[in-house]
Structure 1
């Protein structure tokens, strides 16, 4: 795993093997501050640390993912195995395995391999190299970020 300088992780989550996170990437919460409390300024509203955690507060980045420079990944997202996130993208929803996404908001622009057979063979090769895999282990033994 490699995390570039200036990157920021402000959510709970998991990172798989062989993840490459470029510089100035932000992995941040989606609902960190309440914005719908009538008569309460946002700065005084309910904060993520004062409420129970939800699925929208975590991020799962599976193995062999490359996140390009200055990308933003919002809480509640899973980035599937082998995917690529283009530089400057804002990821607001799940990214399927082996998908290349780019843009604001990020959307699919391609697949990493031509065929399902190539994706399967690549995944099997990763199995031989992997120490751990977030999608296959119990949450007690997974590293937290």
Structure 2
């Protein structure tokens, strides 16, 4: 009955139905006047409280918890937006002055007798909603920058054969590889780097690029699959 009434209100040409529909929309989404000065003050108070609570959680909760799960000097580690998710079998080490978004997932491959390793250098930025699938090793050297939604795919998680995938079997060793991002490289928003790839020193990977092979130092690559589109001067 209610669905029929809703359909009638939305589709009827009757002025009464149209008026009733507008009234129903108004009472479902009530509004109040913005009071000059009062609501702007409340907004500033809200920001002050939320920022203070967020900073206290970062300093006294998220950062020490995350540090307890990783190795390395990890001095001046700066987490923001919570704490990264750690999945699977994974060893993480981190040097100093690194910034990591809490909306990030670090996943280690569970198959194999070895322990996958994520090695993070100094002065590294790991942006919002990054996902690392560490097959054997992922190495981020000093001064590396990763923008948002970067995917480092060190292992696929599934075999190539469809029948084996349907049975839930894991990937094969031949599908697994290291990912090495050399000093000063910058990975753009939404880029994907596949297993076995090395990004050269000072290189730039454009947004949404899919990197399937090694990237030379001091170049810009773009596209799917990514190709060199510009050579950078060493001085830059």
Task: Please give the TM-score of this superposition, normalised by the length of structure 2.
Answer: 0.43
Q: Secondary structure at the match of 2:208?
A: coil
**Is structure 2 residue 189 aligned with structure 1 residue 64?**
no
**Is structure 2 residue 207 aligned with structure 1 residue 87?**
yes
Q: Compare relative contact order (CA 8 Å, sep 6+) and give the higher one, 1 or 2.
A: 1
User: 2: distance between equivalents of 1:93 and 1:17?
Assistant: 21
Q: Secondary structure at the match of 1:42?
A: helix
Q: Counterpart in 1 of 2:133?
A: 10
User: 2: distance between equivalents of 1:41 and 1:13?
Assistant: 27
Cα offset for 1:32? 3.2
Q: In the TM superposition, what whole-angstrom CA distance separates every residue of 1:75-115 from its partner, at most 9, and x where no partner exists?
A: 110001010000010001100111110011100000121xx
User: 2: distance between equivalents of 1:57 and 1:46?
Assistant: 18
Q: Counterpart in 2 of 1:21?
A: 146
The question of whether the paired residues in 2 share the 8 Å contact of 1:31 and 1:57 is answered with no
User: 1: distance between equivalents of 2:222 and 2:228?
Assistant: 7
Task: Please give the TM-score of this superposition, normalised by the length of structure 1.
Answer: 0.68
User: 2: distance between equivalents of 1:44 and 1:58?
Assistant: 27
User: 1: distance between equivalents of 2:158 and 2:178?
Assistant: 15
Any unmatched runs of 5+ in structure 1? 114-118, 123-145
User: 1: distance between equivalents of 2:164 and 2:180?
Assistant: 32
User: 2: distance between equivalents of 1:34 and 1:55?
Assistant: 8
Cα offset for 1:31? 4.6
User: 2: distance between equivalents of 1:81 and 1:55?
Assistant: 25
Aligned CA RMSD, in angstroms, stands at: 2.1
User: 1: distance between equivalents of 2:175 and 2:127?
Assistant: 26
Cα offset for 1:46? 3.6
Query: Where do residues 87-126 of structure 1 align in structure 2 (5 Å cutoff)?
Result: 87-113=207-233, 119=234
Structure with the greater alpha carbon radius of gyration: 2
